[in-house]
Structure 1
Amino acid sequence: MRTRYTTRQGFILTDIISRKLGVDERFTILDGGAREALSDPRWQVFDPSRVRLFGFEPDAAEVENLNKEAADRGLDYQYFPGALWGTQTEVTFYENKSPGGGSCFPQNTDLTDRWKFQNQQDAFMSTDIFYPTGTEQWQTTTLDDWAEKRGGADIDFMKVNVQGAELEILRGGETLLPNVIGIMAEISFVESYKDRPFFSDIDSYLRAAGFEFFDMIGLHYMGRSASDVTASHLPGLYPLWGQLIEAHGVYFRDPIRCEQKGEDMSAFTLEKVLKLVSFAEVFGQVEYAFELLGWLEKHLQGKGSDKEAADIAELSANGRHLYMSLLN
């Protein structure tokens, strides 16, 4: 039977947790490349009244449009003009023919001109659709400066998908990061833009900041313009083809590991762990979500919080029952 759960329009534990959290609690999301935030399906599975989103966009006119649309839809989405970076400075932005292809790093056309974009029906040479068209000068700000001007910000989850600027943005938000429980960041395996950070750079930075790598989603493969054969058009081909150039890395904090290593646990409040359970579920880490609930129950028992532990046990049991019912 089709339900909102089998069609991924909602998630079981997230719905239960949304009803359990205090009336003022919100799933607070920071989107570093915010033009598509209003249509992002990941945020739409949450109860809209439970989501607070902060987005950043260099185009002031677009910010005005986004804020108006969010207000018209009754969403607590707030957009701010400006480009995020690691410092307050002026950077050159390299515009691109391809929407979303611009970057603060110059395009490496020696590599990208060899690419072929393709799907099951069509193929497009990179030289026809993905090339620099001009430059702009952008004034940048940092997440820490933005948060200081607001009097602080408690962010639960960060999405940074900004064509190479991910590491700079993270470095400019070091006072925010300790309370962040999850991050999705664009990661690159090739130098599509000159001197852009690679997956290894972002992975090392996030691991040092206390995050654990969980998944790689949105895999982006690229064909070759010099090939007369378009691989994705071949019948019966294994669906992953070409060179993997980019993806999105999903990282979460892990209170279980922190406890095992005797590290500081002050950031893992009951509310934060429950939100971590929800974000884990939404990003496909259902088993980790249930592992967290089991750990949380025992952790609360160890602190003498028997009533809260019983509440978590009931939450987990209800979630498990609903998940198992989908197997029938």
Structure 2
Amino acid sequence: MDQILLSLAQKIGLTALDVGARGGVNTDLGPLAAATNYVGFEPDPEECARLSRTGIGGGWKNVKFVPVALAAEAGEFALNLYSKRGCSSKYTARQDLGKLFARGDFYNLDKVVKVPCQRLDDVLQSESIEEPAFMKIDVQSMEVEVFDGAVKTLQEDLVGIRTEVSFFPMYEEQPLFAEIDQRVRRDGFVPMRWLENHEWRRATKKKPYSMADGALPFSRGQLMHADVLYLQHPEGLKTDSPKALRRLVRLGLVAACYQHYDHALAAFSIPAVRSFCQGELKLDAEQAVERMSQAEVTLGRRLGWRLMRALQNRFA
């Protein structure tokens, strides 16, 4: 990350939300970790305590875990705890469909527990978490419900979302990609690219390019779920207040972390944002983005663009 952009992030502040923090930390904003407050939400109190106790590394400015489930409304819901804890959900799993893809054992129901839940907008206020810029969310089909409890945050603060989406209903009444996509587009977010694609094969848990035993050692699988990056469009954001300008600056910073340099430059080159950065903050963000893009070209030539593209196509 260019030092100018890191300095910019340190001056205006950056907060990343990790909704569904089980198992570890999302490191997408790692290049700006030193200027970023990381806030993880994990409803399992044991997992939340483990994360707080063991630490997460990464050089974040500040780390905080909140042991709460998020939903559209405050209250409680029944959480199905399945044998593979990462598959636990308020939705009822279709174990018969899991068996089609050699994963029926993932969805053995161990028990059902009542989980208190809150709206994200309310939690941010009660926890004094201001102006979050980025959200990673992986909550086993509750994404739309979390978004519905975060209307203010989506409309006024967030500039980037990394969300899991599903293409096949492993749970009853599960919202799929189309519904999640429509929900975030309502608040101005646009899809930028796939960050992960997960294919499931039948009769084996092996990934597509891992060799399995039997008559079909190799096969592509069926697209089951993926992670998608959404960003706000610079042209759709306001410039009429200091908070609005900070949001646009954060959009440029998040976009740069994901190497979307043209998107970052579009945000930084808006006249009001340029004046804010160069005048009040004394930093030239546009030149920093240009330097980062040019450095990628140098690196790409060194490694070979063809090799990079071949690897991306092979393992996407």
Q: TM-score range by the shorter chain?
A: 0.7 to 0.9
Could you say what the CA RMSD is over the residues aligned between the two structures, in angstroms?
3.3
CA contact (8 A) 1:89 1:139 kept: yes
Q: Residues 301, 110 of structure 1: CA spacing in aligned structure 2 closer, same or farther, 3 A cutoff?
A: closer
- The 5-angstrom pairing of residues 138-217 of structure 1 reads 138-151=115-128, 153-177=130-154, 178-217=156-195
Indicate yes or no: 2:257 matched with 1:282.
Answer: yes
Counterpart in 1 of 2:6?
Answer: 18
Give the C-alpha shift of residue 65 in structure 1: 3.0
Alignment equivalent of 1:316, drawn from 289, 297, 314 = 289
Give the C-alpha shift of residue 301 in structure 1: 8.8
Q: Partners in 2 of 1:90 and 1:83 — Cα distance?
A: 9
- TM, length-normalised to structure 1: 0.77
CA contact (8 A) 1:31 1:159 kept: yes
Gaps of 5+ in 2: 303-316
Identity of aligned residues (%): 23
Q: Secondary structure at the match of 1:316?
A: helix
CA contact (8 A) 2:68 2:118 kept: yes
Amino acid at match of 1:254: H
Indicate yes or no: 2:121 matched with 1:135.
Answer: no
- The 5-angstrom pairing of residues 259-278 of structure 1 reads 264-266=238-240, 269-278=244-253
- The 5-angstrom pairing of residues 11-160 of structure 1 reads 12-13=1-2, 15-23=3-11, 25-38=12-25, 40-47=26-33, 49-70=34-55, 75=60, 76-116=62-102, 126-151=103-128, 153-160=130-137
Q: Partners in 2 of 1:304 and 1:27 — Cα distance?
A: 17
CA contact (8 A) 1:277 1:290 kept: no
Q: Partners in 2 of 1:301 and 1:217 — Cα distance?
A: 28
Give the C-alpha shift of residue 195 in structure 1: 0.7
Amino acid at match of 1:131: N
CA contact (8 A) 2:261 2:293 kept: no
Q: Partners in 2 of 1:149 and 1:306 — Cα distance?
A: 34
Counterpart in 1 of 2:306?
Answer: none
Q: Partners in 1 of 2:293 and 2:59 — Cα distance?
A: 33
CA contact (8 A) 1:31 1:160 kept: yes
Q: Secondary structure at the match of 1:250?
A: strand
Point out the more displaced range, 73-82 or 89-98: 73-82
Amino acid at match of 2:54: E
Q: Partners in 2 of 1:204 and 1:247 — Cα distance?
A: 16
Q: How many equivalent pairs are there?
A: 292
Give the C-alpha shift of residue 306 in structure 1: 7.2
Once the two structures are superposed, residues 224-253 of structure 1 have per-residue CA deviations (whole angstroms, 9 ceiling, x without a partner) of 239xxx985279x9x982111111121000
Gaps of 5+ in 1: 1-11, 117-125
Give the C-alpha shift of residue 292 in structure 1: 3.2
Counterpart in 1 of 2:269?
Answer: 297
Give the C-alpha shift of residue 146 in structure 1: 0.7
Q: Residues 148, 198 of structure 1: CA spacing in aligned structure 2 closer, same or farther, 3 A cutoff?
A: same
Amino acid at match of 1:281: A
